[in-house]
Structure 1
Amino acid sequence: MKRSIFTLALTLVFGSYALANPVDGEKKEVKADESTVTWKAYKVTGSHTGTIALKSGALEFDGDKLTGGEFVVDMTTINTTDLTGDYKNKLDGHLNSDDFFSTASNPTSSLVFTNVEASGKNSYKVTGNLTIKGITKPVTFDVSIYGSKATATLKVDRTNYDVKYGSGSFFDNLGDKTIYDEFDLVVDLQM
């Protein structure tokens, strides 16, 4: 009798797991150490570029069709690549501060795909929930997949995530100190 109850319990647990997580798709883990995330931010007098490390991620497929994905970025790895020395260290520190991404209290950001639509051969229009500083907002972007590589380009409005420092949308008379609200992310993934 105990064995029957145990078997029934296992069947219910694993049976409900299988229903909640169908096996017909394939989840491909992303090689975080071989993937790159680059950023470019703009200001009145120019721009800055840099990198940020992907902590983990996976893309989900049904056959060869993209159906989902989720990623975690290590915000503490913000790195400016167009500056050197004290200028680089100062900007990196400022980007990590509460004026920008508050990485001490928000060490990661995440992106979870909520909708994927084919837009051409190997191309997809993706909508996802992007979380930065604990604030989640929808974003839409394009993804291209070729074999074991995927690329995406996102335009992110930082003010949606309470990153308002130097924003002309919130502060007057900034002049040439104005930093534009949107920044670009270019993601190259290896699976």
Structure 2
Amino acid sequence: MKTFSILFAALATITLAFTGPVETVTVDTDASVITWKGYKVLGSHTGTIKVNTGNLQMEDGQLVGGSFTIDMNTINCTDLQGEYKGKLEGHLKSADFFGVEKYPTATFKITNVVSRGTPGAYKISGNLTIKETTKAIRFNANIGEENGKQIATGDIQIDRSDFDIRYGSGSFFDNLGDNTIYDEFDLSVRLVLN
């Protein structure tokens, strides 16, 4: 039994010797952006939202963890102008949708990272919290270099009904017709790393 304990300790020491320290890399929040796209029967709308804080954990050049916070007050519509732009942004910020006065931030925390077999390509699992509801999500992400900066990107589809955002949803209301707003919306995340 003593021999087994010594062998186990030796293996643990060797494993640790080949594992580098985990480095926390912060996100440049001024340069990072999340682009959203929401869909309805008669078309779609697009816009942006800003990252409030964020970091990624890297070990030996590989992604191993991280998290970021989204500033829900920065919801911006980019496909409308003037009065209609203001109305849509105000409605998205209202209690009908994201209720930003009560819930000013949303968060995402990575729980698992798996390499997809090529450098910088990962399958990410994590917990997304919107309006105090937390759901597990999965998506593919990439980390690469652009103009001397490391950039992390990922495309995510979210079902808003999972977060109790039901306004105009055909899943909860009948006879909406052309006023139906689809439950799924897309997020395209672009994080510039410091």
Shorter-chain TM band? 0.7 to 0.9
Unaligned runs of 5+ residues in structure 2 are 1-19
User: How far off its partner does 1:24 sit?
Assistant: 1.5
User: How far off its partner does 1:120 sit?
Assistant: 2.6
Q: How many pairs are equivalent? A: 170
Task: Tell me how far apart the structure 1 counterparts of residues 140 and 99 of structure 2 sit (CA, whole Å).
Answer: 28
1:11-160 matched pairs, under 5 angstroms:
24-121=21-118, 122-147=120-145, 148-160=150-162
Task: Tell me how far apart the structure 2 counterparts of residues 61 and 169 of structure 1 sit (CA, whole Å).
Answer: 40
| 1:34 partner SS | coil
Task: Tell me how far apart the structure 1 counterparts of residues 137 and 174 of structure 2 sit (CA, whole Å).
Answer: 27
Amino acid at match of 1:40: K
Aligned counterpart for 1:173 among listed residues 166, 170, 175 = 175
| 2:95 partner SS | coil
User: How far off its partner does 1:35 sit?
Assistant: 0.7
User: How far off its partner does 1:156 sit?
Assistant: 0.4
What TM-score does the superposition give when structure 2 sets the normalisation length?
0.86
| 1:152 partner SS | strand
Task: Tell me how far apart the structure 1 counterparts of residues 144 and 75 of structure 2 sit (CA, whole Å).
Answer: 28
Please provide the CA RMSD for this pair. Answer: 1.2
Amino acid at match of 1:188: R
Task: Tell me how far apart the structure 2 counterparts of residues 80 and 120 of structure 1 sit (CA, whole Å).
Answer: 36
Task: Tell me how far apart the structure 2 counterparts of residues 102 and 149 of structure 1 sit (CA, whole Å).
Answer: 30
Amino acid at match of 2:151: K
Structure 1 segments (4+ residues) deviating >3 Å: none
Q: Deviations over 1:4-63 (max 9, x none)?
A: xxxxxxxxxxxxxxxxxxx82111001010011100000000000000010010111111
Task: Tell me how far apart the structure 1 counterparts of residues 159 and 143 of structure 2 sit (CA, whole Å).
Answer: 25
Q: Share of identical aligned residues, percent?
A: 52
What TM-score does the superposition give when structure 1 sets the normalisation length?
0.87
| 1:100 partner SS | coil
